[in-house]
Structure 1
Amino acid sequence: MKIHTAKKDQAADIAQLIMMAMTDECCLYFTGDGQTTDDFRRTMTRLVEMEESQYSYTNTLVAETDEGRLMGVCVSYDGGKLHQLREAFVNAAKEDFGRDFSGIDDETQAGELYLDSLAVYPEFRSHGVASSLLRASAEKAKGMGLPAAGLLVDKGNPNAERLYLRIGFEYVDDAVWGGHAMKHLQYKV
């Protein structure tokens, strides 16, 4: 397995994996009535192709097979830059769906590399891909001079929480994001 920063031509795959991490229900929440997940996929692909977007390929680590097949992704960025990076999403949602998310809750803050989206294609699950991406993300945080890598995990997703805790993430506090009860976990680097 090889892990490296994504390339722009991987945007469609990255968008698909981000949407897997978000779930269809969440994607359709952002699009609003009368839109489809295909509509959201087009918008997300555009956001991944941008350099100044929280979902940018430049913020994405990819895991590939030795033959170059994409296995999974981890999108992460400096939490202190959330508002700046989120502008692209807010503008795209206004343009594409007529929805204003400028007041959306913050899911991170300065002082951590925020792991926004982690997803692995089903055929590569249970092969250590997610664990490898999480460890690589912790190294990314260290390389950026950030003291921690952080994430939110849905309280209704105990399997994901067990994975994070096994890697070395620790509970920080409770949070609510998108109407869901979450736990804020961090990995100190």
Structure 2
Amino acid sequence: MTVRIRPAQLFDAGFAAPLIQSTIGGIGRALTGTTTDDDAAHVLAEFFPLRGHRLSFTHTLIAETGNQPVGLLVSYPGEFAMALDEPFRDHLRVLGQPATTEPEGQPGELYLDTLAVSPDWRGRGVGGALLEAAVIRAQTLGLTRLGLLSEAHNPATRLYTRHGFIAAGERTVSGIRFIHLIHELPAAGAASPSVEAGR
């Protein structure tokens, strides 16, 4: 099976928004000021085609097999995490809700905000291909570390461990406790064990 990774386009909103929401759950409801996943996904679909926020198409890669989207990765430099939440804070203000968000990314890392694979395609190399793409994206941006937050019981933690991620502490976001996982990358041009492991 060949997995192709491409930059997201505006038309990907219908695929991306529900998959993002099914992955981020409570964080998505907090960002959108909603109480259900369906409502949160609807708001994220409206945000996705816009620029300048954390869940924009501009920060998203789409994994495809044939012409079928099967997964996605949302990532951005961690140092921009607070600024990228401002459009969501504006949205919360319009709703009359507290305009508070908790930045997740850390300076110096490419923060993997959301890595998600469609249920029928899990365990078939899609997640690994997206992590390989994250390595390339980080090195292109001059960053030498990947970072992400994962709940302790998340089955994807096994994937992250295979690709070189290690625990680097804990964080609580939107009342949910996460493990902060990081993967230190070699300098651009050097062989990456993480990339090789996914092939």
TM-score by length of 2: 0.84
Conservation of the 8 A alpha-carbon contact between 1:174 and 1:181: yes
- CA distance in 2 between counterparts of 1:61 and 1:70 reads 10
Deviation, 1:100, is: 2.3
Q: Deviations over 1:145-176 (max 9, x none)?
A: 0111100111232x221110111112212222
Change in CA separation of 1:136 and 1:32 when aligned onto 2, cut-off 3 Å: closer
- CA distance in 2 between counterparts of 1:48 and 1:137 reads 20
- CA distance in 1 between counterparts of 2:166 and 2:68 reads 32
1:162 to 147, 158, 162: 158
Matched, 1:43 2:49: no
Deviation, 1:76, is: 0.5
Report the equivalent of 1:176. Answer: 172
Local SS of the residue matching 1:72: strand
Normalized per residue, which structure has more helix?
1
Report the equivalent of 2:194. Answer: none
Report the equivalent of 2:182. Answer: 186
- 1:115-126 to structure 2, matched below 5 A, reads 115-126=112-123
Conservation of the 8 A alpha-carbon contact between 1:148 and 1:187: yes
Identity, in percent, stands at 34
- CA distance in 2 between counterparts of 1:59 and 1:26 reads 18
Change in CA separation of 1:136 and 1:39 when aligned onto 2, cut-off 3 Å: same
1:152 to 128, 149, 168: 149
- CA distance in 1 between counterparts of 2:5 and 2:93 reads 34
- CA distance in 2 between counterparts of 1:160 and 1:99 reads 33
- CA distance in 2 between counterparts of 1:167 and 1:119 reads 16
Change in CA separation of 1:32 and 1:61 when aligned onto 2, cut-off 3 Å: closer
Report the equivalent of 1:108. Answer: 105
What number of residue pairs does the alignment pair up? Answer: 183
- 1:7-156 to structure 2, matched below 5 A, reads 7-23=9-25, 25-29=26-30, 36-66=36-66, 68-95=67-94, 97-102=95-100, 104-156=101-153
Conservation of the 8 A alpha-carbon contact between 2:33 and 2:92: no
Conservation of the 8 A alpha-carbon contact between 1:31 and 1:99: no
Q: Which runs of 5+ in 1 are unaligned?
A: none
Q: Which runs of 5+ in 2 are unaligned?
A: 186-199
Q: Which one-letter code corresponds to 2:7 in the other structure? A: T
